[in-house]
Amino acid sequence: MIFFIKGMIIGIANIIPGLSGGTMAVILGLYERLIQSISNLASLKFNDFKKDISFLVFLFLGAFVGII
């Protein structure tokens, strides 16, 4: 649930001129985990697959809701 809320903050930041979602990810402490999760999925490292997928799904759903 916390990742969904942080995703909403990132989504809202995407629609505000001069502020980016990446900046908010850094401020919220999610940037490194976000890059690592995407990298694991892109390189087909499935050792933490469920953990990475659930993190990304909640974060992206929150961002989508924040943009809407």
Angle between the N-to-C axes of helices 2-15 and 49-67, in degrees from 0 to 180, rounded to the nearest 10: 40
58-67 confidence digits (pLDDT tens): 999 999 999 8
How far, CA to CA in Å, does 23 sit from each of 1, 9, 19?
21, 11, 7
The pLDDT value recorded for residue 2 is: 87
- The C-alpha atoms of residue 53 and residue 3 are separated, in whole angstroms, by 12
The pLDDT value recorded for residue 1 is: 84
CA dihedral defined by 59, 11, 36, 45, rounded to 10 degrees? 50
22-56 confidence digits (pLDDT tens): 888 899 999 999 999 888 888 887 787 888 888 99
Whole-model pTM? 0.81
- Type of residue found at 50: K
The pLDDT value recorded for residue 50 is: 84
